[in-house]
Chain A
Amino acid sequence: MLLERATKIESQETNPLVPGLAGVVGTAGDAVDMEVLNAFEELQEDHETDLIVELIDLYLTDAPQRLLAIREAAFANEWLLLKRAAHNLKGSSANLGIRQVAETCRKLEGTDYELSTESVEKLLQQLDHEFARASEALLTERQRRLQ
């Protein structure tokens, strides 16, 4: 049995507030695909705690550790470790609709590290930026759900 789902890639705009990240995604709204995240309401049972809030909390607790693992691997030139850490974060992000983080992880996973350490650093900065945007969107959604 093999179950597949297509992924979407959005167009990107220059962010005027962060010139060092020119070409990185702009608007906050595309950080998280709310349709994907809210689909997990299907699993919500009556009188149980909000499942999506639980998933957001788990992701926001776990993802920084994975980001740190990616950074540490890059610092130590441990490229296989970096690929694995990026792969893991890609999977958990994509499943919750955190698309730009997933996409940047995919790029990190596929980089030829021996030739482009500069592009790795650029991707790492992009990843930090995307995660910050995603965190903001997730926390906003979390607060909305708890009201």
Chain B
Amino acid sequence: MSPEKLPSSKRVLVADDDPVMRHLISTIIKQQEHEVVVAEDGRAAYRILQSDSAFKAAILDMTMPFLEGLDLVRYMRSEKRLMRIPIMMITAEQDIKLMASSFSAGATAFLRKPFTPAQLQSAIRMLLGNRQLRNRQLRKIAA
């Protein structure tokens, strides 16, 4: 499979049932001159993704009502129109197996709470701007 064109949208999907986290992440994404599409739980995120694939990246909370972040990752990686979107998982879990499952399912990056504002900013900057990270994701999907 030849290298695919990178998603050109500047839209980022943020799915988290914690309004504090949604606001924090949205603030940073907007500061990095991207648009935010917000989902308050896993089901809302799923409904958005069913009809909208124009996302540069997705930031998903691991634990959400109705549909877990991991299930969303699996869904996104099973759909050709969504599989190229880099995904960062956010969680307060300390379970190494869960992290390993996330990467196996196709997550690109993992950020564990609690984190400092600088860590969150760096993580999002890397997710949105790192061409190497995104190319690595594409090669992983193509393999």
Give the residue of A40, A88, A94 whose beta carbon is less than 8 angstroms from that of B17. Answer: A88
B37 close to chain A: CB less than 8 A: no
Contact indicator B112/A54 (Cβ below 8 Å): no
On chain B, the residues within 8 Å of A54 by CB distance are 23
Contact indicator A5/B27 (Cβ below 8 Å): no
Per-residue CB proximity of B110-123 to A under 8 Å, as 1/0? 11111111110111
On chain A, the residues within 8 Å of B109 by CB distance are 1
> Given the interface contacts A43-B31, A55-B23, A62-B18, does A91 sit within 8 Å of B121 by beta carbon?
no
Residue of B nearest to A105 (CB): B92
Main secondary structure of the interface of A (DSSP, over half): helix
Contact indicator A91/B113 (Cβ below 8 Å): yes
On chain A, the residues within 8 Å of B123 by CB distance are 1, 3
A91 to B117, CA, bound (A): 14
A67 to B124, CA, bound (A): 30
A interface, size bucket: 20 to 34
> Given the interface contacts A1-B123, A54-B23, does A94 sit within 8 Å of B114 by beta carbon?
yes
Q: From residue 22 to 62 of chain A, which have CB atoms closer than 8 A to chain B? A: 36, 39-40, 42-43, 45, 51, 54-55, 58-59, 61-62
Give the residue of B63, B110, B118 whose beta carbon is less than 8 angstroms from that of A42. Answer: B118
Contact indicator A43/B28 (Cβ below 8 Å): yes
Give the residue of B18, B19, B93, B111 whose beta carbon is less than 8 angstroms from that of A3. Answer: B111
Q: From residue 43 to 98 of chain A, which have CB atoms closer than 8 A to chain B? A: 43, 45, 51, 54-55, 58-59, 61-62, 84, 87-88, 90-92, 94-96
Contact surface of A with B, Cβ cutoff 8 Å = 1-5, 7, 36, 39-40, 42-43, 45, 51, 54-55, 58-59, 61-62, 84, 87-88, 90-92, 94-96, 102
Please list 26 pairs of residues, one from A and one from B, whose beta carbons are closer than 8 Å in the complex, sorted by A's number. Answer: A1-B109, A1-B110, A1-B111, A1-B126, A3-B119, A3-B122, A5-B112, A7-B114, A36-B114, A42-B117, A43-B24, A43-B31, A51-B27, A54-B23, A58-B19, A61-B19, A62-B18, A88-B17, A88-B63, A88-B92, A91-B21, A92-B21, A94-B92, A94-B113, A95-B24, A95-B114
